[in-house]
């Protein structure tokens, strides 16, 4: 008996809507066609929801079998409850090891770099922050957002240590990982692990999304012409790379068909 026939109620995914680690979990849930309800919050209100279930940061997945408080743990749990033919992790041990190594690379290096790069621009733009932080959140959180924004802008800047030097380093990190992805795809393979979409592809695309701004992302991005010239230029440059084009393709072909 598989998970689909025993699931009694939707899983509960606690998120900050724009978080690319939350997008990683959200995409996996929709890709695997697992029934879930997203509970979205804006910082700092997300902590009230996560603390109640034993978590701290988002995403948090609440299930009948326990609470999972890390995006990788969430994906591994989801993979354990679905049928063999839809798993995100390769069943071949060697291929799985390679996929997990790529997932770890993207989680530990790409994700922090694209997050800080994105916030270095977004925290200075009220309209951008309002759009990306308030989608689907409770009314009271939307109501107080104008007040919260100015406080949280400073908190985010300090927490992620947003400085010109760090952002420049992030830019180099992103480009370095994009080059590694380009090398993996150089032999013409459609996905990072070969012929099949996997956790490596999903993680890369989700965590690269802040610098690519795919049109199919659940948090609809602003058109480039409405962004600052420098921000629009950097997004265009990232999009023009083979890795950036790969992200756009994954969102167009894999994100849409999973919803």
DSSP assignment of the chain, as one string?
A: --GGGT--S-EEEEE-TT-HHHHHHHHHHHHTT--EEEEE--TTTHHHHHHHTT--SSPEEEETTEEE-SHHHHHHHHHHTS-GGG-SS-SSHHHHHHHHHHHHHIIIIIHHHHHHHHHHHHTT-HHHHHHHHHTT--HHHHHHHHHHHHHHHHHHHHHTT--HHHHHHHHHHHHHHHHHHHHHHTT--SBTTBSS--HHHHHHHHHHHHHH--TTSSSPPPPGGGS-HHHHHHHHHHHTSHHHHHHHHHIIIIIGGG-
Are the C-beta atoms of 19 and 43 separated by less than 8 Å? no
Supply the angle between the helices 93-105 and 71-80 in degrees, to the nearest 10.
Answer: 160
For every one of its 259 residues, what pLDDT tens digit does the chain have, with 9 covering 90 and above? 455 545 679 999 999 999 999 999 999 999 999 999 999 999 999 999 999 999 989 999 999 999 999 999 999 999 999 999 999 999 999 999 999 999 999 999 999 999 999 999 999 899 999 988 999 999 999 999 999 998 899 999 999 999 999 999 999 999 999 999 999 999 999 999 999 999 999 999 999 999 999 999 999 999 999 999 999 999 999 999 999 999 999 999 999 754 3
Q: Give pTM, 2 decimals.
A: 0.94
- Interatomic CA distance for residues 226 and 131, integer angstroms: 13
**In the prediction, which pLDDT does 259 show?**
38
Neighbouring CB atoms inside 10 A of 9's CB total 10
Alpha-carbon distance 116 to 110, whole Å? 10
pLDDT at 256: 72
Residue whose C-alpha is closest to residue 204's, from 232, 242, 230, 234: 242
Residues 195, 8 contacting (CB under 8 angstroms): no
| Per-residue pLDDT, 258 | 42
Tokens of 8: 């009694």
Q: List, in order of start, the domains of the chain with CATH numbers.
A: 3-86 (3.40.30.10), 93-258 (1.20.1050.10)
């Amino acid at each position: 008996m598989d998970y689909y026939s025993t699931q009694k109620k939707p899983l509960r995914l606690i998120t900050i809507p724009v978080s690319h680690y939350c997008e990683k979990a959200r995409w996996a849930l929709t890709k695997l066609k697992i029934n879930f309800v997203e509970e979205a919050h804006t910082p700092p209100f997300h902590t009230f929801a996560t603390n109640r279930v034993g978590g701290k940061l988002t995403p948090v997945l609440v299930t009948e079998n326990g609470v999972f408080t890390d995006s990788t743990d969430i994906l591994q749990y989801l993979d354990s409850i679905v049928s063999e033919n839809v798993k995100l992790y390769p069943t071949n041990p060697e291929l799985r090891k390679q996929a997990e190594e790529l997932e770890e690379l993207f989680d530990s290096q790409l994700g922090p770099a694209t997050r800080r790069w994105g916030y270095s621009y977004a925290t200075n733009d009220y309209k951008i922050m309002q759009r990306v932080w308030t989608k689907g959140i409770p009314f009271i959180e939307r109501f107080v957002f104008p007040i919260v924004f100015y406080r949280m802008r400073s908190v985010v800047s300090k927490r992620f240590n947003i400085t010109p030097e760090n952002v420049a380093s992030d830019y180099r990190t992103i480009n370095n990982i994009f080059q590694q992805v380009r090398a993996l795809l150089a032999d013409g393979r459609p996905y990072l692990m070969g012929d099949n979409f996997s956790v490596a592809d999903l993680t890369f695309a989700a965590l690269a999304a802040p610098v690519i701004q795919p049109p199919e992302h659940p948090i609809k991005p602003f058109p480039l012409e409405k962004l600052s010239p420098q921000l629009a230029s950097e997004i265009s440059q990232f999009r023009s790379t083979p890795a950036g084009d790969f992200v756009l393709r994954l969102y167009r072909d894999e994100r849409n068909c999973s919803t």
